[in-house]
Amino acid sequence: MNEETIFSNIGTKERGITIKSPREIDAMRKAGEVVAKTLQLLTESVRPGMKTAELDEIAYKEILRLGAKPSFKGYLGFPRTICVSINEEIVHGIPGNRVLNDGDIVSIDIGAIVNGFHGDHAVTIGVGNIPSDKSDLIKATKEALSRGIAAATDGARTGDIGWAVQSYSEEMGYSVVREYVGHGIGKSLHEEPQVPNYGTPGSGTLLKKGMVIAIEPMLNIGSWETTLLDDNWTVVTSDGSLSAHFEHTLLITEGEAEVLTKL
Ligand code: MG
């Protein structure tokens, strides 16, 4: 499912760009902390032989223990707390009976709600020992996110973020996924503006202090084209090449953005 589909499902009222009040930003800091803590616990829990549903169970319990609610469970019918996407899976994999194997790379994406506001965060990690082509991809995707965050400041445009992510990623020899993008976030998990991981400097939506966005580069070793599996959620690379994904939720300020999903 692409972001266009998501937007068309949540209705026009929730689509606009919002500037958050200090009270709302405070709730978003708390939501960010919950997802960061939970994702850290998941990262520490990953081991070969584990079912992806076990990670989901850990996440669900931890989010509730921290006094929050999962954002994804029930969102447009998504059945679980986290998205788990392995190897050639890009995003939106559904946790289940699949077992994590030594040498896999796994993207874990998580969202939580505190006082009505969402936090959204993802990392890709190696399971057990991974070969260097996989660790290089993970390292580059993490760096691509950092480049995107560095470009996200009051007065910049979404195209500046996209260009920062794309130019670095392509220089490193990877492609960036086009059909799934970052997004505004707040009372709704997905708000305007869309934040593509490709673009032209100076183009796109103007970023203003008080906006909160999620930047989430997805890098592929092969081509950027994607295929949606029959479960209608799991997105894979069309050529079967490996993919990695990192995401942070951040507050736009006059200086460096404040990353809300960091401990
Ligand atoms: Mg997101």
Assign residue 156 the CATH number of its domain: 3.90.230.10
Which residues have CB under 8 Å from 113's CB, separation 6+?
A: 31, 68, 69, 70, 71
Cα(1) to ligand 1 centroid in Å equals: 13
Buried-state track 138-155, b at ≥16 Cβ within 10 A, e below 16? bebbebbbbbbbebbbee
Q: What is the dihedral of CA 141, 213, 93, 128, to 10 degrees?
A: 40
CA of 216 to the centre of ligand 1 (A): 6
Give the whole-angstrom CA distance, residue 263 versus residue 258. 12
Angle at alpha carbon of residue 29, lines to 206 and 68, rounded to 5°: 125
What spacing in Å lies between the alpha carbon of 16 and ligand 1's midpoint? 16
| Cα 121 to middle of ligand 1, angstroms | 7
Closest by CA position to 20, among listed 34, 10, 30, 8? 30
Distance from residue 217's CA to the centre of ligand 1 (Å): 10
Classified as helix, coil or strand, 58 is helix
Sheet holding 258-259, edge to edge: 191-195, 182-184, 212-215, 248-251, 258-259
Ion ligand 1 residue ranges (Cβ < 5 Å): 120, 214
Structural domain count, the chain: 1
pLDDT by position in tens, the chain (length 263): 344 434 333 333 345 789 999 999 999 999 999 999 999 999 999 999 999 999 999 999 999 999 999 999 999 999 999 999 999 999 999 999 999 999 999 999 999 999 999 999 999 999 999 999 999 999 999 999 999 999 999 999 999 999 999 999 999 999 999 999 999 999 999 999 999 999 999 999 999 999 999 999 999 999 999 999 999 999 999 999 999 999 999 999 999 999 999 99
Radius of gyration of the chain measured on its C-alpha atoms: 17
Ligand 1 center from residue 257 Cα (angstroms): 17
Q: How many other CB atoms are found less than 10 A from the CB of residue 157? A: 20
Tell me the one-letter amino acid at 241.
Answer: S
CA of 75 to the centre of ligand 1 (A): 12
pLDDT number for residue 16:
78
Q: What share of the chain is helix, strand, coil (3-state, %, to 5)?
A: 35, 25, 40
Distance, in Å, from the CA atom of 14 to the CA atom of 31, rounded to the nearest integer, reads 19
Residue 42 belongs to what domain range? 3-259
Q: How many whole angstroms from 84 Cα to the centroid of ligand 1?
A: 13
Write the Ramachandran bin of 76: left for phi over 0, alpha for psi from -120 to 50, otherwise beta: left
Q: How far is the CA of 190 from the centre of ligand 1 (A)?
A: 7
CA distances 56 to 45, 73, 118, Å, are 11, 10, 18
The CA 178 to ligand 1 mean position distance, Å, reads 14
Q: How much distance in Å is there from the Cα of 182 to the middle of ligand 1?
A: 6
